[in-house]
Amino acid sequence: MLVPKQDFTIEDDWFVTGLSGTASKSIVLSDVFVPEHRVLDTQLITGGPSPGSAVNPNPLYRVPPWSVGTKVFSGPALGIARGALDLIEDELSGRVSVGAVKMSDIPTVQVRIAEAGAEIDCAEAVLLKDCDDAMRIAASGERPSLAQRARWRRNNAFAGQLCLRAVERLHPLVGARGLHRDSLFQLAWRDIHAAVAQITMAWDIQAVNAGRIQFWLPSLDPRL
């Protein structure tokens, strides 16, 4: 809905971990009439022709935002995980442990770095393929099926889980110094947990819904 600024107030109630910068405060409306031309029905933007595509020919406006558009949440998760991996690699390359052993020479450290990198690369590949497929379907003028849209949403959440696993896998390598509140890795750890808590990133919810749809059961999310 589009509402004039003078018709609502903003409540200062956003005090959260990992998402302080979004300033997602509550908007309070009271006795406000919203005319039909200022309302967008979510059922009209599930892929294919939409109110937006009627005035803009770019295929982007025929892409379903509730399935592919949720990459706005998994994209940051990917960046968080990639940044955490770069941070750990830079830090461990010069750190020496007990007995003058270089951390980068320890086999288990090497395995953690390799596995985290593989998880992040897999997450990126899944997300990029979804975007390519969605744009190809939109450009063709076809409407993606419910199963396809659920698969995109499923992959979105699973990519988030891969990024979460990568950060958790790296967590033991940061050591006690990573407990400080000003630690950049601590920031990444908080942010990745916040990212996967978003409802379109919540694996338990999205996995169940995708599985239901594979068995031709109704979607639990009417917007999908």
CATH code of the domain covering residue 96: 1.20.140.10
- 122 and 191, same domain (yes or no): yes
- 52 and 126, same domain (yes or no): no
pLDDT at 38: 93
Q: Give every residue of the chain whose pLDDT is below 70, as ranges.
A: 98-99
Asked, for residue 98, whether it belongs to a domain, the answer is yes
The C-alpha atoms of residue 96 and residue 208 are separated, in whole angstroms, by 45
Q: Both tokens of residue 175?
A: 């050591």
Q: 52: domain CATH number? A: 2.40.110.10
Q: Work out how many domains the chain is built from and give that number.
A: 2
pLDDT at 163: 98
Domain that holds residue 178: 65-214
Q: Both tokens of residue 22?
A: 């979004």
**pLDDT tens digits, one per residue of 30-83:** 999 999 999 999 888 888 888 888 899 999 999 998 888 889 999 999 999 999
Of the three residues 19, 36, 60, the one that is the final residue of a domain is 60
The C-alpha atoms of residue 136 and residue 208 are separated, in whole angstroms, by 27
